[in-house]
Amino acid sequence: MDVVCDLGVMGIRLGEKALLTFGPHYKYGARDGAPPFIPGNSTLVFDAELFYMIFKLVH
Domain boundary assignment for the chain: 3-49
> Looking at residue 5, what is its pLDDT?
67
Q: What is the pLDDT of residue 36?
A: 78
Tens of pLDDT along 31-56?
777 777 888 888 888 888 888 877 77
pLDDT tens digits for range 11-38: 788 889 988 888 888 777 777 777 778 8
Residue 3's pLDDT band (cuts 50, 70, 90): low
For the cut 70, the answer to whether the pLDDT of residue 1 exceeds it is no
Q: CB-based contacts of 30: which residues, under 8 Å, 6+ apart?
A: 24, 40, 41
